[in-house]
């Protein structure tokens, strides 16, 4: 099967023009097919503040009322997505910016929760794997904003990490998929204060040990759980690495943490 | 050659949820391939006001400084485009929302003007006809926001009427293209106060007469000039009609004005 990287790029990089430019340089130097998924939460919060809309977060998830939905649709689907696409096009990469509503690529259902009304937040129901694959085959490199739709005319706000893992899992029948989470460190660190302590490989067995020893804790746990779910659904490996390392994906020289079932 | 309608929908319809819903019902009932081009100027002006950004217009064109560029990128590329796409998907239409930056579909150059600095405003250089045609052949119905890019990483604000006529002209080598401008009247009226006075057909010869008699004046003149340019570039006909009439395109029952060279 052909290789495919599904790459999630987070807030720190997107919020900063210089960092974003460097990331796009690195991505443009990766001569392998990919799908990019971006966030943009900080810019959405900034716009909300300017518009006098209160931002409410519960467990790291944005409560998305109608006004907030308009903000994220504008920021994720418009500002951030088109800035990335134009930046990639200027580097000779044939990027195409999409949300889950476009081409019905990602269908979600509005989250029902017994005690919290998350508003217009969507949990992914299915990714249209064949259509995404078709776009790749036509030479487009998809840039996905973290927005889905419910098929009833509503855009829904959906976590970018989840979009990345759902997309990676859906395409695992057609491609040898590696799911890549870029962040501000070189990988998962054994000692959080030591950038040189990157754990190069984590398996189901070593993950249990690392959790027990406290080396993996807090914010990293949902990411790891997400990673193992994707692996069980057919994704070949999950890589956690620095945004600067993207150009080395698929090479021996890559610095980062590779997560695999065994 | 296969038929293709390139349909421009303007502000009045987009700004109003009820009107937009009715238009999308009508568009969904048109069982022929199309490309939709939308505006959204009033919503962009509204957001600018809320953000305290001054809107400056010269001859109906928005002066687009950096702050205004971000506003139109958010409103056209995000809010309006995705609202239309989600609305069409809920009606079973496989819409895909795109700007000129996506897939490098529409390349423009930043407008140079001897006396006025229009800012980030783009004049279309070329439309990637084969790629747009490829998307249509893959079963996608493109919804184009009035944004282009310069290939150097800049999004540019581009008049939606122009995007429609340039796209129609570019696709005229592959399709029997009809360019459709939807607006709030039934067509070009002989008497502006009489909705029943629709001129059903205008040719180069009758246009000269209608202009001389004053029946066609002011805002309609650039639209007509645009129409004749498109016709000379291979577009089969240009239709000016009410948004409600879209479902009747290609039928004898269509009410509206058809413009043709002869």
Task: Using alpha carbons, select from A148, A162, A178, A163 the residue that is nearest to residue A34.
Answer: A178
Pick A102's closest partner by Cβ from B70, B97, B153.
B97
State whether residue B38 sits within 8 Å of chain A by CB: no
For residues A43 and B124, give the distance between their C-alpha atoms in angstroms, rounded to a whole number. Answer: 30
Chain A residue numbers touching B83 (CB-CB < 8 A): 73, 155
Q: Distance between CA atoms of B131 and B145, rounded to whole angstroms?
A: 16
Task: Give the torsion through C-alpha atoms of A130, A133, A138, A144, to 10 deg.
Answer: 110
Owning domain of residue B207: 2-259
B17 touches chain A (CB under 8 A): no
Q: What is the mean pLDDT of chain B?
A: 94
**How far is the CA of A16 from the CAs of A12, A20, A86, B78, in angstroms?**
7, 6, 16, 20
pLDDT tens column, A77-93: 999 999 999 999 999 99
Question: Exposed, middle or buried by CB within 10 Å (0-12, 13-18, 19+), for B197?
Answer: middle
- For A88-144, write each residue's pLDDT tens digit: 999 999 999 999 999 999 999 999 888 989 999 999 999 999 999 999 999 999 999
Looking at per-residue confidence, does B202 or B220 come out higher? B202
Is the predicted pLDDT of residue B59 greater than 80, yes or no? no
pLDDT by residue (tens digit) across A204-247?
Answer: 999 999 999 888 888 788 888 889 999 999 999 999 999 999 99
pLDDT computed for residue B216 by the predictor: 87
Check residues A167 and A253 and name the one with the higher pLDDT. Answer: A167
Which chain A residues contact residue B99 at CB under 8 A? Answer: 82, 85, 97
Q: Do A99 and B90 lie within an 8 Å CB cutoff?
A: no
Q: What's the gap in Å between the CA of B13 and the closest CA on chain A?
A: 17
Residue B234: exposed, middle, or buried by beta-carbon count in 10 A (0-12, 13-18, 19+)?
middle
Q: Is residue B70 less than 8 Å (CB to CB) from chain A? A: yes
Is A53 at the interface with chain B, CB within 8 A?
A: no
A89 touching chain B per CB within 8 A: yes
pLDDT tier at B221, thresholds 50, 70, 90: confident
Q: What is the pLDDT of residue A155?
A: 98
- Which residues sit opposite B124 in a β-bridge? B108
Residue B96 has its nearest CB partner, among A76, A102, A151, at A102
pLDDT band at B149 (very low <50, low <70, confident <90, very high): very high
State the pLDDT at residue B55: 87
Mean per-residue pLDDT, A8-35: 93
Model pLDDT, residue B180:
97
Q: Which of A174, A113, A154, A47 is nearest to B48 (CA)?
A: A47
What local confidence, expressed as pLDDT, does residue B233 receive?
A: 97
pLDDT recorded at residue B19? 93
d(CA A110, CA A158): 10
Structure tokens at B236: 């089969």
Instruction: Tell me the C-alpha distance between A19 and A10, whole Å.
Output: 11
The answer to whether residue B11 scores a pLDDT higher than 80 is: no
Alpha-carbon dihedral sign for residues A174, A154, A78, A20: negative
Nearest CA in chain B to A102: B96
Q: Does A153 touch chain B (CB under 8 A)?
A: yes
**B244-259 average pLDDT score:** 93
- Is residue A39 included in any domain, yes or no? yes
Residue B177: pLDDT above 90? yes
Q: What is the pLDDT of residue A120?
A: 97
**Cβ atoms within 10 A of the Cβ of A116, count?**
12
Mean pLDDT of B156-178: 96
Residues in chain B within 8 Å Cβ distance of A96: 98, 102-103
- pLDDT at residue B257 above 90? yes
| Residue A78 CB coordination number (10 Å) | 30
Q: What's the average model confidence in pLDDT over B222-239?
A: 93
* Whether residue B201 has pLDDT greater than 80: yes
Q: Report percent pLDDT > 70 for chain B.
A: 100
Q: Dig out the tokens for A130 from the structure.
A: 């064949």
- Chain A residues close to B78, C-beta within 8 Å: 73-79, 81
**Alpha-helix runs per DSSP H in chain A:** 11-14, 17-28, 41-50, 66-72, 81-89, 129-137, 160-171, 204-212, 220-232
Residue of A nearest to B93 (CA): A103
**B195 and chain A in contact, CB less than 8 A:** no
User: What count of CB pairs under 8 Å joins A to B?
Assistant: 119
Model confidence at A61: pLDDT above 90: no
Query: Is A104 part of any domain?
Result: yes
For residue A249, tell me if it sits in a domain. no
Question: Mutate which of B27, B78, B122 to disrupt the A interface (most A C-beta within 10 Å)?
Answer: B78
- For the cut 90, the answer to whether the pLDDT of residue B205 exceeds it is yes
pLDDT given for residue A192 in this prediction: 82
Task: Go through A29-53 and write b for each residue having 16 or more CB atoms within 10 A of its CB, e for each that does not.
Answer: ebeeebbbbbbbbebbbebbeeeeb
Residues A26 and A246 sit within 8 Å (Cβ to Cβ): yes
Nearest Cα of chain B lies from the Cα of A124 at a distance, in angstroms, of 16
Number of domains in chain A: 1
- Give the burial class of B49: count Cβ atoms within 10 A of its Cβ; 0-12 exposed, 13-18 middle, 19 or more buried: exposed
**pLDDT at position A236:** 97
Residue A78 domain flag: yes
Residue B233's domain is classified under what CATH number? 3.40.1160.10
Closest CA to B121 of B149, B156, B94: B156
Q: Quick check: B207 and B232 in contact, CB under 8 A?
A: no
Rounded to 5 degrees, what are φ and ψ at B132?
-65, -45
B95 contacts: CB under 8 Å, gap ≥ 6: A102, A103, B36, B84, B85, B88, B89, B140, B141, B142, B143
pLDDT at A19: 93
Nearest Cβ partner of A50 from B51, B87, B140? B51
- Of the candidates A47, A85, A152, the beta carbon closest to that of B90 is on A152
Q: What is the pLDDT of residue A215?
A: 83
Please name the residues in contact with B18: beta carbons below 8 A apart, sequence gap of 6 or more.
none
Distance CA A144, CA A129 (A): 14
- What value does the mean pLDDT of chain A take? 94
């Amino acid at each position: 099967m052909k290789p495919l990287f599904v790459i999630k790029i987070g807030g720190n990089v997107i919020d900063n023009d210089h960092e974003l430019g460097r990331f796009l340089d690195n991505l443009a130097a990766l001569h392998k097919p990919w799908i990019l998924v971006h966030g943009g939460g900080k810019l959405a919060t900034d716009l909300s503040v300017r518009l006098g809309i209160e931002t409410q977060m519960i467990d790291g998830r944005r409560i998305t009322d109608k006004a907030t939905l308009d903000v994220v649709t504008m920021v994720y689907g418009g500002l951030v997505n088109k800035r990335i696409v134009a930046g990639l096009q200027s580097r000779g990469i044939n990027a195409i910016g999409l949300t889950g509503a476009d081409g019905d690529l990602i269908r979600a259902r509005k989250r029902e929760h017994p005690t919290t009304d998350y508003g217009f937040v969507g949990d992914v129901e299915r990714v249209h794997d064949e259509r995404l694959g078709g776009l790749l085959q036509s030479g487009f490199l998809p840039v996905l904003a973290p927005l889905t739709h419910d098929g009833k005319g509503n855009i829904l706000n959906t976590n970018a990490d989840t979009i990345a893992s759902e997309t990676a899992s859906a395409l695992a029948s057609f491609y040898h998929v590696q799911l890549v989470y870029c962040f501000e460190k070189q990988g998962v660190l054994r000692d959080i204060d030591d950038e040189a302590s990157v754990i190069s490989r984590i398996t189901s067995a070593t993950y249990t040990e690392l959790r027990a020893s406290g080396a993996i804790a807090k914010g990293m746990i949902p990411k790891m759980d997400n990673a193992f779910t994707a692996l069980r659904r057919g994704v070949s490996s999950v890589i956690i690495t620095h945004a600067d390392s993207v150009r080395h994906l698929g090479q021996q020289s890559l610095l980062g943490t590779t997560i695999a079932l065994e």
